[in-house]
Amino acid sequence: MKKVRGMRVIEYLLTVLVIVTLNFALPRAMPGDPFLVLSDVEEEAAVLTEEQRQYYFELYGLDRPMHKQYLSYLGDLLRGDLGHSIYYNESVTTIILRRLPWTLFLVISTVILRTIIGSLLGSISAWCRGNFFDQFLFFNLITISEIPAFITGLLILFVFSAMLGLFPLAGAMSHFTTYSNWWDKLLDILHHAFLPIVTLTLARLGGIYLLARNSVVSVIQKDYLLTAQAKGLSKGRILLWHILRNAMLPIVTRTFLSLGSLVGGAILVENVFNYPGLGLLMQEAVNVHDYTLIQGIFLVVALFVLIANLMADLIYKHFDPRIESNEEATA
Amino acid sequence: MFKKASSRLSLLVLICLLIMMTVACGVEEATEESVEEETVDVVRLEGGQDDGYPSPYAHHRRGPGSYKMNLIFDSMLERDEEGWVPWLAEDYEISEDGLEILFTIRDGVKWQDGEEMTAEDVKFSYEYSLEYPMVRTYVQKDDEIEVELKNDNQVLFIAPEPDAVLAHDLGRIPIIPKHIWKDVDDPENYLEEEAVVGTGPYQLDEYNLEHGTYRFEAFEDFWGPNQSVEAIEFIPVSDDIMAFEQGDIDLTRIGTDLLSRFEEQEGFEVVQNPAFWGYRLRFNMEDNPQLEVTELRQAINYALDLEDVVDRDARGAGVAGNAGIVPPDHVMYNPEVKEYDQDLDKAEELLIKLGYENTTEEGVRYNEAGEELSFDLFVRDDDVRLGEIVEEQLSDLGIGVNVISEERQSHDDRLRNYDYQLIIHGGGGWGGDPDYLRERFMSPAADERGDVEQQSLGYDNSELNQLLAEQRYEVDEERREEMIFEVQEILAEDIPQIPLYYPAEYTAYRADSYDDWMHMFDHHALEHPKLSYLERD
């Protein structure tokens, strides 16, 4: 068993190394250099003098041999140092840490909401399989989840903020105001986050709904449900205790596996709502061609996806011990 | 049957949504008037992106960063609609030999922390900015300009040679308080409250770099004209047009499509921005001897219909290129230069004179030596359409053009290495001091100052070189203007590059909230000049 775990760890470490190496190599393989834009004050591709370019090359260590740059890059990463932002003149780690909580807040809220709502709707749909309600949910949820999140976001922004004025048009909290207590502040933050979370949830609801529906449908056909019904248990108890519990396994795994793509979705949605998370930061970094910052964000997102996968792995084993014993048998 | 019913119901829901959205436009317009009246003491503008801490050392490099800093920090001179005006310096004199510039500093100016501003602060700011270059630098150590305090309110700058732009370059250095900065040796990371103490009309009240919000409040003891806005706020905006319509912000840029929507509505004003950003067609003459011939470049210019380019590429929101390079909105624009309205007959005549008489099966002209008039034209991936319009217009004359698009980084790199035959490039700064003509068109061989970045490789006109060199030393503004006019005439004759057009966006603002906006003589944005927020005659 230890051997299996060891293999897994090596697999993950190798993946991290590949990502880190790509992250190091790709920007260096691009034509031009990041210092072109430093002198690009009026959007003019101005030319730095050779002396100035040399100064920046030395400052960022780009004049050293590639293998040395790579080793020092790895060393910096191990110390949690993602480099220095060329445009913002600040440590990339600091910039990312400042924005990360907002993205995590959106993603985690969405995961919770979507899992609960998706599972419930999926179960109800399966329970009423074939009737009008099932058809209605099925059609609408699948349609909505096929629409890209940023379009759903724009529609929601237009209707609920611009037209009805129920929610703010942009940002994560009110500005230039003082809160009388933390509760007011929390409410304000929730008020601002509501539409982005709803958008992300709607965009990602279809997958969980379908999964829950299929999973419940397969559980419904099991013999033990006949037993439960024969025992005279209530419908609610059967649905919650006997069906959902047994149907949860794929849903939980899917939830963790989809964390990565949710971060991707959040990046688009943040841009629609001008929400100050990693997504908006990414757009800003691309606008000003800040390569170290773009690299930093890319790496953080990639690691986030890996960690989510690892968690899915572990949790799956926890819920379904058969997996581990199978692996042991094949190992 | 259920399936059909549910599909119909779903369709109905979608249709309802669409109807609600259409109705929404009406509702939105109806509520606008009530919102407009609320913003009287505050002007709200689009923010949401961190432009850095607004000290002369910590703001970010792009325009919005430096103009925020300028609200807090004054300089000796300022820019209004017409040109440079005295600001912290109430006057300046340039000696006859052009070597000495004497600035007389205004009395009674207070720093935002209550201290008195003196000529000593001006001298200090200059010396400090040489030691620690500010984000935007105008004068460098190598320029070897000495400074001395003449008396309590006069500062004298002594240059090793006359320089037409030096007074303005010195005049735009942000003046910082000596009592705060004298002990700071890491100005870029000096982010204390004191770092944003200036003498300007506005003080920084709140700044949040995470959300990209800024709030500036009028400085009560400001020495100059009264502020006409009590507070300026920069807030995050998702969709700027939506935010503008909702009254969240008071000013926004709009495209041609939205022109009629705001022009016709009461309470809104729309102005066209001056065109100081331009697309140009550049030639590499050195590596392509065909392009070295002036008549060929003239023929290319005659073949282009630049008005048509503006209409098709910018839907009319722009100004057609001027062969004299300097755009028509520039204060030193010469309207008398040679014009190149599209004239295919004239273009053909020129080509035939050069021997490009016959055409290949594909319709490309060639001369007796078999040299075809066929070129690669590089464009940035955003500008493919512009490239194709040029291709189409030139093909009518028998000039073959192969449009190749690239992403920005490769494009800029190619530009820097002159790795092209023809290239279309967009860039700004066309409103600035016309000395840029020297930096772009002087032959590097004639360059004594060492700051020429020639844009037309292989172009060398000795008469022009001499004029360009002289204008830089000419401190008499009228004489200099005559020289710049002459330079434009030569450029229009020689066509070392072809300005295609200068895009000119529109700015819409809520006149009911605030309508005292202005453009600086050399800059396109209404919200950038500090004079936009001050009472003016």
- Check if the beta carbon of residue A201 is closer than 8 Å to that of residue A110: yes
Q: Indicate the DSSP class of residue B49.
A: S
pLDDT tens-digit series, residues A64-85: 788 888 888 888 888 888 888 8
pLDDT-derived band at B196, boundaries 50, 70, 90: very high
- Check if the beta carbon of residue B73 is closer than 8 Å to that of residue B198: yes
pLDDT-derived band at A253, boundaries 50, 70, 90: confident
pLDDT tens-digit series, residues A131-159: 888 888 888 888 888 888 888 888 998 88
Q: Does residue B146 sit in helix, strand or coil?
A: strand
What is chain A's length? 331
Per-window interface: B 42-101 vs A, CB < 8 A: 48-50, 52, 58, 60-63
Q: Does residue B358 sit in helix, strand or coil?
A: strand
Domain assignment present for B23? no
First to last CA, chain B: 76
Q: What is the CATH number of the domain that holds B341?
A: 3.10.105.10
Q: Are residues B305 and B222 part of one domain?
A: no
Q: Are residues B469 and B440 part of one domain?
A: yes
Give the closest-approach CA distance of B238 to chain A in angstroms.
5
Domain assignment present for B2? no
Contact criterion met (CB < 8 Å) for B27 and A143: no
Q: Are residues B323 and B453 part of one domain?
A: yes
Phi, psi (deg, nearest 5) at residue B425: -135, 135
Does A177 contact B at CB distance below 8 Å? no
Neighbours of A87 (CB within 10 A): 21
Neighbours of B128 (CB within 10 A): 21
Does B245 contact A at CB distance below 8 Å? yes
In angstroms, rounded to a whole number, what is the distance separating the alpha carbons of residues A135 and A24? 49
Count how many domains chain B has.
3
Domain hosting residue B495, numbered range: 277-503
Which residues in chain B have Cβ-Cβ distances shorter than 8 Å to A43? Answer: 277, 426-428
Does B8 contact A at CB distance below 8 Å? no
What does the buried/exposed string (b/e) look like for A62-83 if buried means 16 or more CB atoms within 10 Å of the residue's CB?
Answer: beeeeeebbeebeeebeeeebb
Contact criterion met (CB < 8 Å) for A169 and B6: no
Q: Are residues B487 and B512 part of one domain?
A: no
Does B206 contact A at CB distance below 8 Å? yes
Nearest CA-CA partner of B530 in B229, B105, B303, B240: B229
Domain assignment present for B187? yes
Of B199, B230, B255, which marks where a domain is finished? B199
Work out the average pLDDT over B480-508.
94
Does B380 contact A at CB distance below 8 Å? no
Domain assignment present for B11? no
Q: Indicate the DSSP class of residue B110.
A: B
Contact criterion met (CB < 8 Å) for B236 and A155: no
For an interface test with B, give the residue of A28, A40, A44 to mutate (most B CBs within 10 A). A44
Work out the average pLDDT over A305-315.
82
Residue A322 has a pLDDT of 62
Q: Are residues B488 and B387 part of one domain?
A: yes
The identity of residue B524, as a single letter, is H
Residue A190 makes CB contacts below 8 A (sequence gap 6+) with none
pLDDT tens-digit series, residues A213-231: 888 888 777 777 778 778 8
Query: If you search the block for the tokens 């969405």, which residue do you land on?
Result: A110
Q: Are residues B120 and B244 part of one domain?
A: no
Q: Are residues B497 and B407 part of one domain?
A: yes
Residue B41 has a pLDDT of 86
pLDDT-derived band at B42, boundaries 50, 70, 90: very high
Domain assignment present for B32? no
- Check if the beta carbon of residue A262 is closer than 8 Å to that of residue A111: yes
Does B140 contact A at CB distance below 8 Å? no
Q: Which residue in chain B is spatially nearest to A32 when comparing CA positions?
A: B413
DSSP A212-236: HHHHHHHHHTSHHHHHHHHTT--HH
Higher pLDDT, B353 or A50: B353
Q: Are residues B264 and B180 part of one domain?
A: no
pLDDT-derived band at A10, boundaries 50, 70, 90: confident
Domain assignment present for B286? yes
Contact criterion met (CB < 8 Å) for B236 and A276: yes
Which residues in chain A have Cβ-Cβ distances shorter than 8 Å to B17? Answer: 155, 159
Of B173, B199, B225, which marks where a domain is finished? B199
Contact criterion met (CB < 8 Å) for B237 and A170: yes
Q: What is the CATH number of the domain that holds B89?
A: 3.90.76.10
Q: Are residues B289 and B433 part of one domain?
A: yes
State the DSSP H helix or E strand holding residue B475, giving kind and residue range, or none if neither: none
- Classify burial at B264, counting beta carbons within 10 Å of its beta carbon; exposed 0-12, middle 13-18, buried 19 or more: exposed
Is the ipTM value over 0.90, yes or no?
no
pLDDT tens-digit series, residues A19-76: 888 888 887 776 666 666 554 434 444 445 566 667 777 777 777 788 888 888 888 8
**Residue B448 pLDDT greater than 50, yes or no:** yes
What is chain B's length? 537
For an interface test with B, give the residue of A176, A271, A286 to mutate (most B CBs within 10 A). A176
Residue A204 has a pLDDT of 82
Q: Which two tokens stand for residue B66?
A: 């430096």
Q: Which of A177-186, A233-242, B189-198, B457-466 has the lowest mean pLDDT?
A: A233-242
Nearest CA-CA partner of A222 in A238, A205, A207: A238
Domain assignment present for B477? yes
pLDDT-derived band at B1, boundaries 50, 70, 90: very low
The identity of residue B424, as a single letter, is I
Of B167, B199, B231, which marks where a domain is finished? B199
Residue A135 makes CB contacts below 8 A (sequence gap 6+) with B2, B3, B5, B6, B7
By DSSP bridging, strand B231-235 and strand B213-218 are: antiparallel
Residue B399 has a pLDDT of 94
pLDDT-derived band at A3, boundaries 50, 70, 90: low
- Classify burial at A45, counting beta carbons within 10 Å of its beta carbon; exposed 0-12, middle 13-18, buried 19 or more: buried
**Residue B18 pLDDT greater than 60, yes or no:** no
Q: Which of A250-254, B159-163, B331-335, B464-468 has the lowest mean pLDDT?
A: A250-254
Contact criterion met (CB < 8 Å) for A162 and B62: no
Residue A39 has a pLDDT of 47
Neighbours of B141 (CB within 10 A): 11
Q: What is the CATH number of the domain that holds B531?
A: 3.40.190.10
Residue B6 has a pLDDT of 44
First to last CA, chain A: 8
Q: Which residue in chain B is spatially nearest to A138 when comparing CA positions?
A: B6
Q: Which long-range contacts (CB under 8 A, 24 or more apart) does B256-265 make?
A: B256/B314, B256/B315, B256/B316, B256/B317, B256/B506, B257/B315, B258/B508, B259/B506, B262/B508, B265/B29, B265/B32
Q: Are residues B333 and B258 part of one domain?
A: no
Q: Are residues B219 and B189 part of one domain?
A: no
For an interface test with A, give the residue of B3, B238, B452 to mutate (most A CBs within 10 A). B238
Does B210 contact A at CB distance below 8 Å? yes
> H helices within chain A, ranges in order?
2-29, 50-59, 66-78, 92-127, 132-146, 149-156, 182-220, 223-230, 235-237, 245-257, 259-273, 278-287, 291-319, 322-330
Query: If you search the block for the tokens 């000290």, which residue do you land on?
Result: B55
- Check if the beta carbon of residue B453 is closer than 8 Å to that of residue A46: yes
Work out the average pLDDT over B5-12.
45
Rounded (5°) CA angle A60-A62-A64: 120
pLDDT tens-digit series, residues A89-123: 788 999 999 899 999 899 889 988 988 898 888 88
Q: Are residues B209 and B195 part of one domain?
A: no
Does B9 contact A at CB distance below 8 Å? yes
Domain assignment present for B7? no
Nearest CA-CA partner of A16 in A107, A61, A77: A77
Q: Does residue B44 sit in helix, strand or coil?
A: strand
Residue A128 has a pLDDT of 82
Per-window interface: A 125-144 vs B, CB < 8 A: 130-132, 135-136, 138-140, 143
Work out the average pLDDT over B281-301.
93
Give the closest-approach CA distance of B188 to chain A in angstroms.
9
Q: What is the 3-state secondary structure (H, E, C) of B392-420?
A: HHHHCCCCEEEEEEECHHHHHHHHHCCCC
The identity of residue B433, as a single letter, is D
Per-window interface: A 72-111 vs B, CB < 8 A: 87-89, 98-99
Does A330 contact B at CB distance below 8 Å? no
**Residue B439 pLDDT greater than 60, yes or no:** yes
pLDDT tens-digit series, residues B237-267: 888 898 998 889 999 999 888 888 888 888 8
Residue A32 has a pLDDT of 62
Residue A4 has a pLDDT of 64
Higher pLDDT, A74 or A2: A74
- Check if the beta carbon of residue B171 is closer than 8 Å to that of residue B84: yes
pLDDT-derived band at B322, boundaries 50, 70, 90: very high
Share of chain B above pLDDT 90, in %: 65
**Residue B7 pLDDT greater than 70, yes or no:** no
Residue B26 has a pLDDT of 36
